[in-house]
Amino acid sequence: MYAPPVLRRPARSSDGRRTGVLAVVVGLVISLLAFVPATPANAASSLLSQGRTVTSSSEENAGTPATSAVDGNDGTRWSSAFSDPQWIKVDLGASASVSQIVLKWEAAYATGYRIEFSTDNSTWTTAYSTTSGPGGTETLNVSGTARYVRLAGTARATPYGYSLWEFQVFGTTGGQGGPQIPGGGDLGPNVLVFDPSTPGIQAKVDEIFKQQESAQFGNGRYALLFKPGTYNNINAQLGFYTSIAGLGLKPDDTTFNGDVTVDAGWFNGNATQNFWRSAENLALNPVNGTDRWAVSQAAPFRRMHVRGGLNLAPDGYGWASGGYIADSKIDGQVGPYSQQQWYTRDSSVGGWTNGVWNMTFSGVEGAPAQSFPDPPYTTLDTTPVSREKPFLYLDGSEYKVFVPAKRTNARGVSWTGTPQGESIPLSQFYVVKPGATAQTINAAVQQGLHLLFTPGVYHVDRTIDIDRANTVVLGLGLATIIPDNGVTAIKVGDVDGVKLAGLLIDAGPQNSSVLLQVGPEGASADHSANPTTVQDVFIRIGGAGAGKATTSMVINNDDTIVDHTWIWRADHGDGVGWETNRADYGLRVDGDDVLATGLFVEHFNKYDVQWNGENGRTIFFQNEKAYDAPNQAAVQNGSIKGYAAYKVADSVNSHEGWGLGSYCYFNVDPTIRQDHGFEAPVKPGVKFHDLLVVSLGGQGQYEHVINSTGSPTSGTSTVPSTVVSFP
């Protein structure tokens, strides 16, 4: 916000593919399997194997890993070498009472195999064996206690290896054989669902806005959801912790002849504190031809179609410090006007009128040409890797969550033509409501459910563990998680394809060492085919009350995509002070091949971003150093004045960044000097494009931009110092 004036993975192998006659056989078998019903697991049992650690005696090639047999996707498979014997083994994570095994064979199945159980991964007992396996989908009723379950193949039906679409283990853990946590259900009291015939829509929307307009640190949380159709004469003004979204599969399914508006009347025309709100999946026909979206951090504008222009400044063109657009189409011009910085990804615009300090685009049709620093446009033709945020929608009368597919070198919106991705029924989600405990949330994940957090504030006394591949964790209405007793709020396992989206993590008063951890320390699995995504997940330390965290977000998993985050040590509100809301580090990246698109990290006591992993990339970075540093000594980093906003470790050999800015406003001691905003090793593989540092009103100064390169900021003119290319 602008104040007024490790371990490294081995080289990856290429993806081999089986060709020839077998491809035809596979197609026929897939068609036949569609008519083979699978017997459901017993009501008291749950799926224990999905997303768990799995190993095998061999893999046919890199495209058929063992993990594909427990990923919940009937379109991916494990296949072995073309020899006997072979095995695949899943670690359930804890001893369980196993009651059923479901084998979904590809064309290359086993006629002879054993199902074996072990509690210690050493001593094995046979739970089932056959010499006449039929292939297809086999449902085996078994019994026994096991942490490790192994399928040992002894005879193949074809010359090829053993090949499984899915290896599913059902049972119960912890001796609990009682009722399962139900999936689905209603969306709770703070989700308001409208259709075009709903009476009094404008009055209800106005009522929510009046409550939330200036409730910057309040507890109200709301999601306003609109069923497909056309809505006339609507002006939905959005206040704090309010999300608005259409319930169609595409934005044009839900059309407003009207506006979705964010302005700054509550703050005397200053939009620099218009945080924590969102608009998604709607088409707008603005009343006067231009919609107003005057926001700053943590206010995503996603999957929107504006049939007109978009004004990103408040009425009167007061200060604004946003912002983020993704997967959106704006038919007319986008006018940032007073916006200091903005990032737009994988979208289409009819034009862009101006830039102040840092306007960055990747994969945007109609974006202005590269011209940094004058005008300050950083433009990439495509986004290297992206996967749009999951969203709730209606398929007829049934709620589902659509999970868009990963795109490589994306350009333009993802929703033209037939949207690519996966639809998951709400019945496969635990719908989390205020009062739910971390114990229940974890049990739901272990049971095989995804998580949909309804709007509210959730205190957790233990970590929410997401250690099952492809789990979707989606928040509505800025659902907020507060860790008690110094625990980590959320941890993700070293597994494929977890999607975290739409959450606010608020530090508790007892220091947490980490608030969000993606992957365990030392994680090294290859997730390039199916990365974890962290989207619109915001972290706050202080502001709503005293909070502390040593490090806010740690990324250990390779290939993770962080797509729009604001990690903020509060500079205003309650519980704010150099030691009161102490938080030394914002983001630490230890994983390799991590991509950040839209990275906002501000005000940390030491490094805002530390990047230790190889092959990291950041497209757009916005930062302010901590305002409240009491003196030069408090930020002295050995012989270096101040901690860099963005530090790449000396050991790193490959890293790249585009459109990165750091600002200082040392209002407690304006004599503080910061050696540089960015620090990185000088190596051929470490590259930066379009960097800037700014002294806001002369409250403190930078000596350089990156390392000892770049001119110092000077005086009170608030003019950036820039570096176009480094080294």
pLDDT in tens, 389-439: 999 999 999 999 999 999 999 999 999 999 999 999 999 999 999 999 999
CA 543/CA 126 separation, integer angstroms = 58
The confidence band for 179, taking pLDDT boundaries of 50, 70 and 90, is low
Q: Residue 435 has what pLDDT?
A: 94
Strands 636-637 and 655-664: unpaired
pLDDT (tens digit per residue) in 653-677? 999 999 999 999 999 999 999 999 9
The residue whose two tokens read 């007992």 is 125
Position 24 pLDDT exceeds 90 = no
Residue 41's pLDDT band (cuts 50, 70, 90):
very low
Which residues contact residue 528 at a Cβ distance below 8 angstroms, ignoring those fewer than 6 apart? Answer: 12, 558, 559, 593
pLDDT of residue 180: 79
pLDDT at 119: 85
What pLDDT, on a 0 to 100 scale, did the predictor assign at position 44? 52
Of the pLDDT bands very low, low, confident and very high (cuts 50, 70, 90), residue 704 is very high
Cα(357)–Cα(149) distance, rounded to whole angstroms? 57
Q: Which of 201, 314, 334, 336 is nearest to 256 (CA)?
A: 201
β strands within 318-390, DSSP E: 324-326, 329-335, 341-352, 358-365, 377-380, 383-387
pLDDT tens digit string along 224-252? 999 999 999 999 999 999 999 999 999 99
Q: Average pLDDT in the 599-625 region? A: 98
What mean pLDDT do residues 153-158 have?
96
Average pLDDT of span 529-554: 97
Give the burial class of 8: count Cβ atoms within 10 A of its Cβ; 0-12 exposed, 13-18 middle, 19 or more buried: exposed
658 close to 619: Cβ distance less than 8 angstroms = yes
Name the band, by pLDDT with cuts 50, 70 and 90, for residue 33.
very low
What pLDDT, on the 0 to 100 scale, is given for residue 22?
Answer: 34
For residue 281, the one-letter residue type is N
Is residue 251 classed as helix, strand or coil in its secondary structure? Answer: helix
Rounded to an integer, the average pLDDT of 199-224 is 98
Whether 183 contacts 449, CB under 8 Å: yes
- What is the predicted pLDDT for the residue at 708? 98
pLDDT (0 to 100) of residue 624: 98
Per the model's pLDDT, the better-predicted residue between 681 and 119 turns out to be 681
DSSP reduced 3-state for 330: strand
Residue 699, phi then psi, degrees to nearest 5: -85, 85
Q: What is the pLDDT of residue 121?
A: 87
10 Å Cβ neighbour count for 651?
Answer: 9
Phi and psi angles of residue 491, each rounded to the nearest 5 degrees, phi first? -125, 140
- Give dist(CA 266, CA 243) in Å, integer: 18
The pLDDT, as a whole number, for residue 96 is 87
Q: What angle do CA 155, 156, 161 make, to 5 degrees?
A: 125
Query: How many residues belong to the chain?
Result: 727
- pLDDT band at 173; cut points 50, 70, 90: confident
Mean pLDDT, to the nearest integer, of 265-293? 98
CB atoms within 10 A of CB 132: 7
Q: By the 8 A CB rule, do 366 and 344 touch? A: no
* pLDDT of res. 477: 98
* Across 563-580, average pLDDT: 97
Confidence of residue 512 (pLDDT cuts 50, 70, 90): very high
Cα–Cα distance measured from residue 608 to residue 661, given in angstroms and rounded to the nearest whole number: 12
- pLDDT above 60 (res 26): no
List of E strands, 440-495: 450-453, 457-460, 464-466, 472-483, 490-492
**In the block, residue with structure tokens 């979206």:** 293
Angle at 24 between CA 18 and CA 29, to 5 degrees: 105
Structure confidence by residue, pLDDT tens digits, 56-94: 999 999 889 999 999 888 889 999 999 999 999 999 888
DSSP line for 634-675:
GGEETTEES--SEEE-TT---EEEEEEEEEE---S-TT-EES
- Computed over every residue of the chain, the mean pLDDT equals 92
pLDDT score at 53: 86
Question: Which of 105, 571, 64 is CA-nearest to residue 296?
Answer: 571
pLDDT at 1: 53
Question: Looking at the annotation, which residues are catalytic?
Answer: 624
pLDDT in tens, 673-700: 999 999 999 999 999 999 999 999 999 9
- How much is the pLDDT for 519? 97
Q: Give per-residue pLDDT as tens, 348-403.
A: 999 999 999 999 999 999 999 999 999 999 999 999 999 999 999 999 999 999 99
Neighbours of 104 (CB within 10 A): 21
CB-count burial class (<10 Å; 0-12, 13-18, 19+) for 445:
buried
Q: What is the pLDDT of residue 647?
A: 98
